[in-house]
Structure 1
């Protein structure tokens, strides 16, 4: 039997803010892990605090990696991080490069999110509007935790303000000073693909491609949300996925940054409703094949 995606090290998937493994019957990585496992990959979806600082999530991820190494016998793992999950994966790789073979950033805000900046200025911490937003997000995180059926473990801490600060452009700039591995030296460029033995990759999409508003996205409410969020962007107003800018997503080897997909399409949500011609699952299977070819 052919096993084109049977990488040397397990593939570990880290969700973004308000992420989950499986909510009731619905998986975060819709159709992706199934396709990878069919091709021989050991693909593991994990859960960290749905809303918290990147460093807190990163420490949680390190404990998970340690357990996966122990249970599988693998020396290292290949990390895939979506959105804030990319920053979380970067933190783990920077802290323990001996445990991580690669980091793949999928629509990661590696230079921050202009949406987070907008919320920072329009819903500031400590104001009535800020407290309302915090309450809504806090309640949503708890609700999603109750509906989580794909992950078992202790209750995970929630800190809305810390999470928000971790995602602003200023917050990520501070993070990058401490953990610069794979970050491009020039805006819009590519970063060093190999640092301390860890390979860094990234890809992302733009919803300004007219194809992203066709196909399944005509029925997808999250696509409408991303189009509304995109109106908050200034620096990358014409090139974003609704939550992360095209160039802000760059890390290490940039596989692509203009796929016709919004921030949710890129991980095949919702129920695979994506724009015309978009193939998010294929991006993951191709990356698994790429990692296998690199001996990872």
Structure 2
């Protein structure tokens, strides 16, 4: 009996150490994580504002190695995918895990088609995988070849040039190509070219988690939210409330309907989170019920447990 207390103390100390070590490596995936921004996105602006806000740090603090890719602010998913593939090759890792927001999802699928041997997984976060009705509406009110189209393109490209200057990038910009690639028609054309990898052509659902691309197995995942008004202090919520009208009664995150976001293994579509909340912006203003940072951290742990 006199040894019982010391034994319990030692056991307790060992459990505490094990718990601390597990926490320290909670997001330590086998392959690095590459975060991929969406349309009108960037990696950082002046080294101060990160597109994914605090998400990179929250992944790194528990062991993950994280990169944030820089592709065109506005351009087609094909062009952005080629840029992403070149960026991944420049990193020198055998494989990477792509975690992509919005247009970053089709961008990542293009990159996976180009270099499937370098991609361990692709995760779509509020991704435009079957197009956006907001883009359909915008294409409908901007007549092709019109002065309106030319002006809109010039403005988008100018903003892209400014983002290049602030982020130290030199990515080509094409505002109209970005708009067209995000329409239902444009995304359908891209899906046809990619063989609908990870995307269900005929149903409002995902597909198998394991997707074979040119003889290489790539894990596909996705999640999204269906909230619009999530924080009274978030000035982007009113904008998303207006754009969400394009979907009628169909659930969406304000810019993409839920069905369009589904890809591969669908982790969840019920989160109280809009399109901007999904990257932990506006500077962390979010719903009390869904913490987007936790979604990234738990998914990194999911990848770790799958040996990725």
Q: TM-score, normalised by structure 2?
A: 0.87
Q: How far apart are the structure 1 equivalents of 2:270 and 2:190?
A: 25
Question: Within the alignment, does 1:230 sit opposite 2:244 as a pair?
Answer: yes
> Structure 1 pair 185/53, CA: closer, same or farther in 2 (3 Å)?
closer
Question: What is residue 124 of structure 2 aligned with on the other side?
Answer: 105
Matches within 5 A, 1:85-104: 85-104=104-123
Alpha carbons 2:276, 2:282 under 8 Å: kept:
yes
Listed one character per residue, the Cα deviations across residues 243-293 of structure 1 (whole Å, up to 9, x for unaligned) are 111010000000111211110101101100012212000000000000000
- Specify the SS of the correspondent of 2:247: coil
Matches within 5 A, 1:151-170: 152-153=168-169, 155-170=170-185
Question: Within the alignment, does 1:48 sit opposite 2:71 as a pair?
Answer: yes
Q: How far apart are the structure 2 equivalents of 1:60 and 1:185?
A: 26
List gaps (5 residues or longer) in structure 2: 1-20
List gaps (5 residues or longer) in structure 1: none
Alpha carbons 1:61, 1:92 under 8 Å: kept:
yes
Alpha carbons 2:131, 2:185 under 8 Å: kept:
yes
Listed one character per residue, the Cα deviations across residues 158-189 of structure 1 (whole Å, up to 9, x for unaligned) are 11111111100001001111111111243211
Alpha carbons 1:125, 1:161 under 8 Å: kept:
no
Shift of 1:126: 1.8
User: Which residue, out of 180, 183, 192, partners 2:208?
Assistant: 192
Alpha carbons 1:183, 1:192 under 8 Å: kept:
no
- Specify the SS of the correspondent of 1:201: strand
4+ aligned runs moved over 4 Å, structure 1? none
Listed one character per residue, the Cα deviations across residues 28-78 of structure 1 (whole Å, up to 9, x for unaligned) are 11111101000000011010111111111111111111111x2xxx31000
Question: What is residue 190 of structure 2 aligned with on the other side?
Answer: 175
Listed one character per residue, the Cα deviations across residues 123-172 of structure 1 (whole Å, up to 9, x for unaligned) are 12222332232232222222222222xxx44x111111111111000010
Question: What is residue 81 of structure 2 aligned with on the other side?
Answer: 58
Q: How far apart are the structure 2 equivalents of 1:58 and 1:20?
A: 14
Question: Within the alignment, does 1:241 sit opposite 2:227 as a pair?
Answer: no
- Specify the SS of the correspondent of 2:120: strand
Listed one character per residue, the Cα deviations across residues 173-214 of structure 1 (whole Å, up to 9, x for unaligned) are 011111111112432112121112100000111125xxxx34
Question: Within the alignment, does 1:205 sit opposite 2:225 as a pair?
Answer: yes
With CA pairs under 8 Å and 6+ residues apart, which has the higher RCO, 1 or 2? 1
- Specify the SS of the correspondent of 2:97: strand
Q: How far apart are the structure 1 equivalents of 2:115 and 2:163?
A: 30
Matches within 5 A, 1:23-34: 23-24=45-46, 25-34=48-57
- Specify the SS of the correspondent of 2:144: coil
Question: What is residue 125 of structure 1 aligned with on the other side?
Answer: 144
Q: How far apart are the structure 2 equivalents of 1:277 and 1:142?
A: 37
Shift of 1:233: 2.4
Q: TM-score, normalised by structure 1?
A: 0.91
Q: How far apart are the structure 2 equivalents of 1:186 and 1:111?
A: 11
- Specify the SS of the correspondent of 1:231: helix
Listed one character per residue, the Cα deviations across residues 84-127 of structure 1 (whole Å, up to 9, x for unaligned) are 11111011112221110000000111000100000010112222
